[in-house]
Amino acid sequence: MTKLGFIGLGIMGGPMAAHLAAAGHDVRGHDVSPDAAAKLEAAGGQAAPDIAGAVTGAEVVVTMLPDHPQVEAVVFGQGGVLESAAAGTLLIDMSTIRPETSIEIARRAEPRGIRVLDAPVSGGQAGAERAALSIMAGGAAADFEAARPIFEVMGKTVIHVGPHGAGQVVKAANQLVVGGIYGLVSEAIVLLEASGVDAATGLDVLAGGLAASRILDLKRESMVARRFEPGFRIDLHHKDMGIALAAARQAEVSLPMTALVAQLIAACRAMGHGSLDHSALLKVIERLSGR
Ligand code: NAD
């Protein structure tokens, strides 16, 4: 049994923390939303009123927050993780944020004796709920091995991908592929429907051939039915495309398809769909054809 502090109990963090509590760990969770913390209590964890309450005495602290400003506030802020955690604590940030912030967290944690991993995840809400996430970790190999039993409670694919920040780079690569596939599945739906072919039937064929993908498996039905409740919000994917393009600039590479998909996701947000699921990219592709 590990004493765990878990901060950020939203769509992803909620079920992840619940799995850790169900596996017998002592989980104290904190979220600015009291409803989120109450759900953790129902799952066998304890709700902490503030960050210090979740972190004090914890051997491992997990953060699962929207973006780098929230992670910086929680980790660096007054009464935050660096102030409240004891030397020897392992801090695992599982949020998707820019790699520079992950590197900065490790740099500022080191003099306090706090070890750090960036360990973003892929697999979506369904992956979090089924404890089937893909987890990509950056940081020291020994810290990754120490964290492995915790990761294995939440995920099925658990891989150490390199030093601090590398987990975030892999996640950026994941997000540009996911965005591209959503764009192309949307185009397939528009073409099928505009040609008078039943889109559900057409996508069933695609799902059985070389165009098969997890996105087609999990989302084709809801996309054809225009059900876009999140899931993963357009706002968050917009953030992730920004991270991918900034990483490309840093690495001095050209990613033209990523740039195009980023613009389409930005348009989706500008159309007022930021809080819908990222499969709502279909709405932009339809609009481009006047549909
Ligand atoms: P979410 O908005 O549902 O959850 C974030 C939680 O953090 C919320 O409950 C919010 O109240 C809480 N929070 C925000 N600021 C806080 C603070 N200062 N102190 C304490 N709690 C605070 O978001 P999510 O969908 O769970 O995503 C979390 C992270 O995981 C993001 O970085 C996202 O990009 C990534 N991610 C999401 C998915 C997905 O499918 N939703 C998949 C993979 C990765």
pLDDT tens, residue by residue, 150-177: 999 999 999 999 999 999 999 999 999 9
Q: What are the boundaries of each domain within the chain?
A: 3-163, 169-288
Per-residue pLDDT reduced to its tens digit, 65-95? 999 999 999 999 999 999 999 999 999 999 9
* Whether 118 contacts 68, CB under 8 Å: no
Q: Do domains 3-163 and 169-288 have the same CATH topology?
A: no
Q: What are the residue ranges of helices labelled H in the chain?
A: 13-22, 34-42, 51-55, 68-76, 81-84, 99-109, 124-129, 141-154, 166-194, 199-207, 214-224, 234-251, 256-268, 281-288
Residue type, 252: E
Is a pLDDT exceeding 90 seen at residue 256?
Answer: yes
Ligand 1 mutation pick, 6, 9, 30, 31, max ligand atoms within 8 A of CB: 31
Average pLDDT, stretch 110-134? 97
Would you say the CB of residue 40 lies under 6 angstroms from ligand 1? no
- Between CA 219 and CA 197 the distance in angstroms is 19
pLDDT score for 180 = 98
| Ligand 1 midpoint to CA 231 (Å) | 11
Q: With a cut of 90, say whether residue 110 has pLDDT above it.
A: yes
Provide the pLDDT confidence category of residue 99 given band limits of 50, 70 and 90: very high
Contact 48 CB / ligand 1 (< 6 Å): no
Catalytic entry in 39, 156, 171, 219: 171
Q: How far, in Å, is the centroid of ligand 1 from the Cα of 14?
A: 9
206 burial level (CB within 10 Å; 0-12, 13-18, 19+): middle
Give dist(CA 277, CA 196) in Å, integer. Answer: 26
The reply to whether 171 belongs to the active site is yes
Secondary structure element (H or E) that encloses residue 91, with its range = strand 90-93
Superfamily of structural domain 3-163: NAD(P)-binding Rossmann-like Domain (3.40.50.720)
Q: Which CATH architecture best describes the domain 169-288?
A: Orthogonal Bundle (1.10)
User: Does the pLDDT of residue 112 top 90, yes or no?
Assistant: yes
Closest CA to 97 of 259, 239, 280: 239
pTM of the model: 0.95
Percent pLDDT > 90 in the chain is 98
Q: Is the predicted pLDDT of residue 37 greater than 90, yes or no?
A: no
R_g (Cα) of the chain, nearest Å:
20
Decide: residue 180, CB within 10 A, 0-12 exposed, 13-18 middle, 19+ buried. middle
Ligand 1 site, residue 274, Cβ cutoff 6 A: no
pLDDT at 151: 98
289 alpha carbon to ligand 1 midpoint, in Å? 34
